[in-house]
Chain A
Amino acid sequence: MKGDLWFQRVSVGTTWFWLAAFALIPNVMVVAASLLERGDRDFIRFALSLESYRRLLDPLYLRVLWNSLYLAALSTLTCLAMGYPFAYLLARVPRRYSRLLLLLVIIPFWTSSLIRTYAIIIILKTRGVVNNILLWTGLIQAPLELLHNDLAIFIGLVYTLLPFMVLPLYAAIEKLDPLLVEAARDLGAGWLKTFARVVIPLTLPGIVAGSMLVFLPALGMFYIPDLLGGARTLLVGSLIRNQFLAARDWPFGAALSVVLTAVMTLLLLVYARSRRLAYRGDLP
């Protein structure tokens, strides 16, 4: 029928148009801009150049990149260490409670990270909750400076991103058949061996997915280091923002974004591979 084709065309056309215009083209523009020169009036001059990438190799910027990757990796590992046992226990909670308990993880997942960062400030500030408790117990005599340093950024990242680790882990662990763990135990494997050879491989997709959901925002959320960190720590998210809003060096900002996207793509490949590994099962 003629009308049918029309409907199908409009549906496909809308989907294509929107994703092409607002996802494909902008991303291509970023890559293109990173390969152009900085202009005086229009931000970008149409002349090919690898200058922006060369500048990335400046020790100053390498340091920023290294600091950011280090802090993001440390937060990811901490979230994993805290989140894995939590998700594991959550997946084994009796049915009656599990929906409510899961909802209690989903709510912070969707709550604005900015609000949660602000909550951390209230807790950590000089006259904040932690300092007051420590003073009250007599453990310290004068308030500690808990804000405006790398530790505060780290706490802020772990706090805001923990739910992003827990939810994928929970999804993976919930699918894990407890009988498999029992079988491994019956066959004489110790706890450690069961965990390393059965539980971890089968929940690997959840581990990788959770790590990505923590690692990538940890690199890009510039307001957490802005609000919690000191003036001395510059991280890649803030650096990108500065290129676009203060320094007006769009090609350099674009090059930094390309690097960030490359890291993401790399992780996506690892993720795809981990899923294949998990599905392959225990074949040698």
Chain B
Amino acid sequence: MKRLGRIGYLILIYLFLYCPIAVLIVFSFNDSQYSLSWKGATLNWYRVLLADGQLLRVALNSLMVALCSATLATAIGTVAAVTLFRYRFFGRRLLYALIYVLIMSPEIVMGISLLMLFVAIRLTLGFWTLLLSHTTFCIPFVVVTVLSRLSGFDRNLVDAAQDLGASEVQVFRRIVLPLLMPAVLAGWLLSFTLSLDDVIISFFVTGPGFEVLPLRIFSLVRLGVKPEINALCTLMFGLTLVFITLSQVLQKEKR
């Protein structure tokens, strides 16, 4: 009886977490504009999405920002994690603290602080400001992912390589990077997902000339529920599902 109650509670919470998403997905295939009742399966709403040229351009914007910022954030984040792990230098503790401030600080505060910076240095709000902002909020996630893999890192490997005459660049490229690869890839996938989904920071740092998908969804949702939005959200959820599962598998990989 007790066991049944426990399993029941677990199921209840999973239902709470997944029911709304499941309903969203099911209705993206429902052949009816308004009604909640099931009128048969259709791919019509996905067709409507694909026919919307403007929406496709916005989606392309989002993909471009996500690709570029995930790559940049992964490069900088990996270097930062290795630097924080291997070297002792001025301000190391401050940089550690800044990483955690970036993770913890409310997104809205990061959004307005970056907006202030961009306005102060007179950067036009658009692709570049989005790229810089997304890279910034993705870096700490890469750093944390890479650092967690570094925690099991055998420093003797570096010493051995150096004794054999390897330079720092060679140590990084031939020893450290290959060992960190799963974490680096996981960090990239996380960054890509984060960038693709971000609403709040993008809201502040992009201009009217460069719209991204989450902001478009936000303005569409404000107008009400529509089957096309169901389809769009289902696609985005599917993408997240694949990326996060992949990144989890990579992080769990045996060291």
Write the residues of chain A forming the contact surface with B, with a CB cutoff of 8 angstroms.
Answer: 1, 3-4, 7-8, 11-12, 14-16, 18-19, 21-27, 29-30, 33, 43, 82, 85-86, 89-90, 93, 99, 101, 103-108, 110-123, 125, 127-129, 132, 159, 162-163, 212, 216-217, 219-223, 226-227, 237, 240-241, 244-245, 250, 253-254, 257, 260-261, 264, 268
Contacts and interface: CB of A to CB of B under 8 A. Distances in A.
B229 A118 contact: yes
B221 A121 contact: yes
B17 A115 contact: no
A216 B115 contact: no
B147 to A, nearest CB: 13
Contacts of A111: 21, 197, 237, 240-241, 244
B29 interface: no
A258 to B, nearest CB: 9
Interface stretch (B46-54, B96-104, B149-157, B177-185): B96-104
B102 to A, nearest CB: 5
Contacts of A132: 36
12 contacts: A8-B87, A12-B83, A27-B105, A27-B109, A82-B13, A107-B241, A111-B240, A112-B214, A112-B240, A118-B229, A220-B108, A221-B107
B24 A118 contact: yes
B214 to A, nearest CB: 6
Contacts of B83: 8, 11-12, 14-15
A61 B220 CA distance: 30
B117 A115 contact: no
Given A123-B20, A221-B107, 13 more contacts: A11-B83, A15-B83, A101-B10, A103-B248, A105-B17, A112-B214, A122-B20, A217-B107, A220-B108, A222-B108, A244-B112, A244-B115, A257-B108
Contact of B117 (A25, A108, A120): A25
Contacts of A268: 104
B200 A222 contact: yes
A24 B235 CA distance: 36
Interface residues of B, number: 81
Nearest to B27: A122
Contact of A30 (B112, B200, B218, B237): B112
A1 B203 CA distance: 47
Contacts of B200: 220-223
Most chain A CB within 10 A, of B10, B24, B109, is at B109
B168 interface: yes
A12 B95 CA distance: 10
B139 interface: yes
A250 B116 contact: yes
Contact of B112 (A217, A254, A264): A254
Contacts of A93: 10
A113 B240 CA distance: 12
Given A19-B95, A23-B101, A163-B17, A29 B120 contact: yes
A245 B200 CA distance: 13
Nearest to A83: B13
B114 interface: yes
Main secondary structure of the interface of B (DSSP, over half): helix
Nearest to A226: B222
A212 to B, nearest CB: 7
Contact of B233 (A90, A99, A119, A240): A119
Interface string B158-196: 000000000111001000000000000000001001101
Interface in B226-243: 229-230, 233, 236-237, 240-241
Contact of A261 (B80, B98, B109): B109
A39 to B, nearest CB: 12
B19 interface: yes
A132 B34 CA distance: 13
B6 interface: yes
Contacts of B196: 112
Contacts of A127: 34-36
Given A22-B136, A86-B13, A120 B79 contact: no
Given A29-B120, A105-B17, A240-B112, A22 B132 contact: yes
Nearest to B189: A110
Contacts of A163: 17
B204 interface: yes
List the 6 shortest-distance A-B pairs measured between CB atoms, nearest first: A119-B20, A26-B113, A112-B197, A220-B106, A220-B108, A7-B168
A89 B6 CA distance: 7
